[in-house]
Structure 1
Amino acid sequence: MADTALVALISTLVLVGTIAIIAIALRWRRKRRRARGNPNPAGDYAARTAWTGGRGALNYSSFVFMDVDGDGKFGQADRPIAGIVVRAYDEKGAFLAAVRTNNGGFANFVMSVKKHRATLRAPGTYRFSVSVPKGWRVSTGNEDQWLRLDSVPGAPSGLAGEDLPKAVGLSPGRFIRGRTATEAVLHVMGKGRVLESRALLPGDFLIGLASDSDTLTISGAGLDRRLALTPYPADLGLLRPDAIAAGAALEAIGFDDVTILPFQKIPCGHAGLDWRNLNALTSQYVKDSEGYLNGNLSRGRVAYTSSGHPAEFAAATPFGFHSIMLTAAWLASEGEVALVESWLHDELVASDEIALSALAPVHYAPMLKAVTRVRISTKHYWQAVLDGLLLVR
């Protein structure tokens, strides 16, 4: 009896193995046939007649952008944002997947009725929810969207949506951060009106900014300065006397003319400065590098600290160091701290620590009237992205 059962088991295994081998052989035969092509030219450009099936897959995408001008529309001033998490849920509210936006600003959910790896596999209503970073604002007001997918025989994935999710605009939370050793008065202005006045006491200060804030002034104790605000947070570092005058002509130092290549070390002599351990690259040069995209204000090339090591720009003749945009290169280094040190010849005239984000730049504005060397390093040796450098010469 046992022998009979063993023979039956072996026979079954042999049969199953034979069927599997035949199936694999047929599959490879079909692949070879497709690779070889059809010898008959009559069907080379024939219109499709059998609109059935749908064995492929498509990305069903949610687009998220940095709403630079805050108007709630994706316009020419705006740009895609990488690293934002978008989650998909089915119509019962069950979580399906979480995807981060890529360097194009798209969070891609695979849609297919046949592919087991697909997130969206059946008709129904789905919710797509953008995870909004703390302190940020949704300018488009649509971080949660419900859309229906229907069965469409003949469509590449077998499914089609009633529409794609509408673009979601995010604006970073804006604030002014800094330190002062003496008392001073700070005014936040918008369109020529004073929006807020604040007495600064010795120590650290952090002030949130209204959406219409466009100018900052500080007066008292020789700390007088005027700063045009950007769409991003600002860090003034330690307020020091004798800042760059409000009417000084600012010179923008860019990196687009370093090279026509997507990547190159910045040579000494660029913009009349000496450079050390700084490279220039395009935002798309490194795949899935959130900060290289989000910190790229010019849409051309940015600079970054090579291999995360300390980097410098310098000149023999003193120049004014007004400000620079600093971004963490990777979301994995969110919260990295940059140390920016400025010298006038052999004298250290400023040393500030700046908290970085890979989602948006911080506008570091020390407004130093005379320096000859600026050194930028990071506490944990992650790369820092540099753009929007403004000098006075």
Structure 2
Amino acid sequence: HPVGLAADLTISGAVAAGARVSLTGPDGVTAAAKVGPEGGFSAAVAPGEWLVDFSAAGATERRHVVVGAAPVVLSTFSDKGGPAEAPLPQEHVVGFDDLMTSPGVFEVPSGYGGLNWYNLVAMHQRFTEGPGYINTTMSGEFIAYNSSGHPAQVFSDKPFDFTGAYFGAGWDDAEGETLILKAWRGDEPAYEDRLTLSANGLVYFAADYGRITRLEIRTQHYWQAAIDDFAYRTGP
């Protein structure tokens, strides 16, 4: 039985007032994105590799974005310029499928994938029959979510880069829920983003959070956020 919708593919995000955004597609054609009065932008795209260029107040940044089967939301561009340090070398993607072999619920243990996890639970996509859990599954049959809708954390003593992940709302009643992502380097706040979740389909959040030690994942109204293919980089 169908449980979701095939969303139109877009690249969207938020920029500072007065910033300019241009996108170059797989065909090499570059076009400017229309930036709204509050800094939001959204552009229709096709699958493939894209370049997104930001400029504001003399600062510039370029991001490489791969568009697949889901709309992409970019982390907020800052007019302070792009990251000064190169990405960490070792790439990882965890899909939570190797934690269990039968339907059920399993707390994601600290140490999984080389990171520490708090209040994240993995389960089979159809364990609860919530449509958003099914729609957010990208690899295998298991996903993760913030247990009881309370804030979850991913953290490490060693800095890691949070590349991005697929997110959706677990339940129909959570349609339009706001996901709030915050990251720190030690005790210093480093990043903060918000995106809208749907149970009908997933979005890919392209974070590009560099050299963080803690990531908080929470929802504004304490609904469960479904998560799959959590991607990150670590040092040697």
Q: Above 0.5 in TM-score?
A: yes
Residues 246, 272 of structure 1: alpha-carbon distance in 2 compared, 3 angstrom cutoff: closer
* CA–CA separation in structure 2 for the residues paired with 1:312 and 1:213: 31
Query: Which deviations, in whole Å up to 9, do the C-alpha atoms of 1:193-213 show, x marking residues without a partner?
Result: 225333768842322313355
* 1:325–1:364 CA contact under 8 A, matched in 2: yes
* CA–CA separation in structure 1 for the residues paired with 2:141 and 2:11: 27
Structure with the higher strand share, 1 or 2: 2
* CA–CA separation in structure 2 for the residues paired with 1:296 and 1:214: 22
* CA–CA separation in structure 2 for the residues paired with 1:249 and 1:388: 16
Which residue does the alignment assign to 2:8?
173
Which residue does the alignment assign to 1:55?
none
* 1:218–1:226 CA contact under 8 A, matched in 2: no
Which residue does the alignment assign to 2:40?
205
Aligned with residue 233 of structure 1, among 55, 71, 82: 71
Structure with the higher helix share, 1 or 2: 1
Q: Tell me the number of residue pairs that the alignment of Structure 1 and Structure 2 aligns.
A: 226
* CA–CA separation in structure 2 for the residues paired with 1:212 and 1:269: 34
* 2:132–2:169 CA contact under 8 A, matched in 1: yes
TM norm structure 2 = 0.86
Question: What's the offset of the Cα at 1:261?
Answer: 3.6
* CA–CA separation in structure 2 for the residues paired with 1:186 and 1:356: 25
The DSSP-based 3-state class of the residue aligned with 1:224 is strand
* 1:234–1:365 CA contact under 8 A, matched in 2: yes
Aligned with residue 307 of structure 1, among 137, 148, 160: 148
* CA–CA separation in structure 2 for the residues paired with 1:381 and 1:372: 24
Question: What's the offset of the Cα at 1:237?
Answer: 2.9
Counterpart of 1:294, as a letter, is N
Query: Which deviations, in whole Å up to 9, do the C-alpha atoms of 1:19-57 show, x marking residues without a partner?
Result: xxxxxxxxxxxxxxxxxxxxxxxxxxxxxxxxxxxxxxx
Counterpart of 1:225, as a letter, is R
Which residue does the alignment assign to 2:132?
291
* CA–CA separation in structure 1 for the residues paired with 2:43 and 2:14: 15
RMSD (Å) for aligned C-alpha atoms: 2.4
* CA–CA separation in structure 2 for the residues paired with 1:208 and 1:199: 8
Larger radius of gyration: 1
* CA–CA separation in structure 2 for the residues paired with 1:345 and 1:232: 32
The DSSP-based 3-state class of the residue aligned with 2:106 is strand
Aligned with residue 258 of structure 1, among 73, 93, 99: 99
Unaligned stretches of 5+ residues in structure 2: none
* 1:188–1:213 CA contact under 8 A, matched in 2: no
Query: Which deviations, in whole Å up to 9, do the C-alpha atoms of 1:146-170 show, x marking residues without a partner?
Result: xxxxxxxxxxxxxxxxxxxxxxxx5
* CA–CA separation in structure 2 for the residues paired with 1:173 and 1:297: 17
* CA–CA separation in structure 2 for the residues paired with 1:295 and 1:177: 19
* CA–CA separation in structure 1 for the residues paired with 2:53 and 2:36: 12
Unaligned stretches of 5+ residues in structure 1: 1-62, 65-81, 85-169
Residues 300, 187 of structure 1: alpha-carbon distance in 2 compared, 3 angstrom cutoff: same
Question: What's the offset of the Cα at 1:296?
Answer: 0.5
Higher relative contact order (CA 8 A, sep 6+): 2
* 1:321–1:371 CA contact under 8 A, matched in 2: yes
Counterpart of 2:29, as a letter, is V
* CA–CA separation in structure 2 for the residues paired with 1:253 and 1:218: 29
Which residue does the alignment assign to 1:242?
82
Counterparts of residues 33-112 of structure 1 (less than 5 Å) = 64=2, 82=3
* 1:178–1:236 CA contact under 8 A, matched in 2: yes
Counterpart of 1:383, as a letter, is Q
Question: What's the offset of the Cα at 1:249?
Answer: 5.6
* 1:321–1:369 CA contact under 8 A, matched in 2: yes
TM norm structure 1 = 0.53
* CA–CA separation in structure 1 for the residues paired with 2:77 and 2:145: 26
Counterpart of 1:273, as a letter, is L
Query: Which deviations, in whole Å up to 9, do the C-alpha atoms of 1:221-253 show, x marking residues without a partner?
Result: 142221112221221131143348689663212
Counterparts of residues 1-393 of structure 1 (less than 5 Å) = 64=2, 82=3, 171-181=6-16, 183-190=19-26, 192-194=27-29, 196-198=31-33, 203-212=38-47, 214-220=49-55, 221-240=59-78, 241-243=81-83, 250-262=91-103, 263-287=105-129, 289-393=130-234
Question: What's the offset of the Cα at 1:336?
Answer: 0.5
* 1:258–1:264 CA contact under 8 A, matched in 2: yes
* 1:274–1:314 CA contact under 8 A, matched in 2: yes
Residues 378, 201 of structure 1: alpha-carbon distance in 2 compared, 3 angstrom cutoff: closer
